[in-house]
A and B are shown apart, each in its own frame.
Chain A
């Protein structure tokens, strides 16, 4: 009887594994077979030609360049706004907060981490309507999207900073204190450099989250065709939204092909970021092992 159960367990586990790997494999093969033929310079630069487009001599109207540039601009702005708050709050929770304020703020940031991205997008949108009454030039735009996305990735940044600082060995703090360093100096010159890798891998995951999110930006200013934005108050294009739009609105086979190409490019960007974060984390664990 025991043997039968052992055997059934064995079968169940292997079948689950096969289903997951099979589904993931089918997914990848489908995307690659459909997307790879679409990848070319024309896909990105359209009929504009690479150098003219890169030197901003001519506007790319039928390629993915504006969407790719839009996504990169977005990520850059998100980091610019979210990093100071993410790092600051992470440092506060790890190094300064008392027991009660720590538990209170962790709860708040756990709540924020759980809020669906579409709700954060809706918040960004309502904020725009609200501000529009006083500043009439303000409509959904690159800046609003970046601020809303910054709120989305904030809990990731806070948690990775906090955890990277908290898992540092106590000996480090004691040594710094014994040398007469005050808390601010210890954080600045001892703890942060030691925790840098952990914080950095959190930042990369936050970049990935900002690059792939569609729900926030579709409520806060992304459009199908805008070209490369000229200011923070312009609407813009982004890769994930382009993929979403093409899925339902493609008019011919060529546009569908572009959709697959865009999906492949976004997957490659996210895959690259993910591998980078993984490599950094691997390095950290190796170093921590060496430490003890």
Chain B
């Protein structure tokens, strides 16, 4: 009887363990597949050429540099817009707005995380793109600016929620101490909340940049997908994610097709670096430090 129970216990443990291993192996094999299918590319095209040349398949040039630039431009501009917006909203909800309004805003922000990105793209094409075209009366309106504004709307809720969580985790005693000294709201924010929420603010930024980097539909639908090197915010660009989506139709044996695996590898490594920095951040912040030990 006893050995039967023991065997059963060991069996369920093995079952759960194998589910974990399958998930782990699949995660790593995503990367392996990209590398294996992308390798033939590197035998004919050196990595430096791939990363620096321009994209002109008709001239035999298959560089993805402009896509990397396009991705950087869209992601950084969206963060530039979303960061102050999110910080402002988090401060409004945590510190300034009356209780009921704050709860309402918090609810709206939570709901916004559920909006499908394809719908952001759809509304972007028919609402934002014509507006951008009219405001600047240049180009088609499909531009870095349009994509970044929509992405900002996509990533802000994530950032606001992370900020709010880290604001709420600040020890009440610190805030009470400042209140007892007669501190103003600004002092509370600048001297207690923001320093205390430093890790949370970095976390929000990293998470949001990963979200913006990994999104395909918004850039694909409203950034215009031009292959040239962008020179202004109103230029149309192609991001790495959009490039993968666009080249799919091409012939499987072409070099053009193989470049999408290079894009896949870059995206995988880029998000892996973000994930590792997040872990590093939290590992360091959970270690006891001297200035917080009193």
Contacts and interface: CB of A to CB of B under 8 A. Distances in A.
A215 B241 contact: yes
A199 to B, nearest CB: 14
Interface stretch (A39-47, A49-57, A86-94, A167-175): A86-94
Contact of B275 (A89, A110, A117, A270): A110
Nearest to B185: A6
A125 B257 CA distance: 12
A200 B86 CA distance: 29
A92 B19 contact: yes
Nearest to B91: A13
Contacts of A121: 244
B5 to A, nearest CB: 6
A16 B88 contact: yes
B95 to A, nearest CB: 7
A92 B16 contact: yes
Nearest to A157: B23
Chain B: interface secondary structure?
helix
B184 A2 contact: yes
A218 interface: yes
B170 interface: no
Contacts of A219: 244-245, 248
Interface string B66-98: 000000000000000000111111011101110
Contacts of A290: none
A107 interface: yes
A284 to B, nearest CB: 15
A122 B108 CA distance: 34
Contact of A126 (B23, B37, B271): B37
Interface residues of B, number: 85
Contacts of A240: 116, 118
A17 B97 contact: yes
Contacts of B97: 13, 17
Given A31-B123, A122-B261, A248-B221, A214 B27 contact: no
A271 B113 CA distance: 10
Contacts of B116: 211-212, 214, 240, 266-267, 270
A30 B213 contact: no
Given A17-B97, A30-B127, A108-B24, A208 B114 contact: yes
A105 B16 contact: no
Nearest to B215: A116
B23 to A, nearest CB: 5
Interface stretch (A18-26, A62-70, A72-80, A223-231): A18-26
Contacts of B33: 123, 126-127, 130
Nearest to A23: B153
B186 to A, nearest CB: 5
B32 to A, nearest CB: 10
B23 A154 contact: yes
Interface in B1-54: 5, 8-9, 12-13, 15-20, 22-24, 26-30, 33-34, 37
A19 B87 CA distance: 13
B24 A105 contact: yes
A267 B9 contact: no
The 10 A-B residue pairs whose C-beta atoms are closest, nearest first, are A16-B88, A88-B19, A116-B214, A212-B116, A92-B16, A274-B114, A13-B92, A215-B216, A114-B271, A89-B20
Interface of B: 5, 8-9, 12-13, 15-20, 22-24, 26-30, 33-34, 37, 84-89, 91-93, 95-97, 105, 108-123, 125-127, 153, 156, 184-187, 189, 210, 213-217, 220-221, 241, 244-245, 248, 252, 260-261, 264, 267-268, 271-272, 274-275, 278-279
Given A20-B85, A20-B109, A85-B19, 13 more contacts: A13-B95, A16-B86, A17-B88, A20-B89, A24-B112, A27-B127, A34-B126, A85-B22, A118-B244, A119-B244, A219-B244, A243-B122, A260-B122
8 contacts: A9-B91, A89-B23, A107-B275, A110-B278, A114-B210, A116-B213, A219-B245, A240-B118
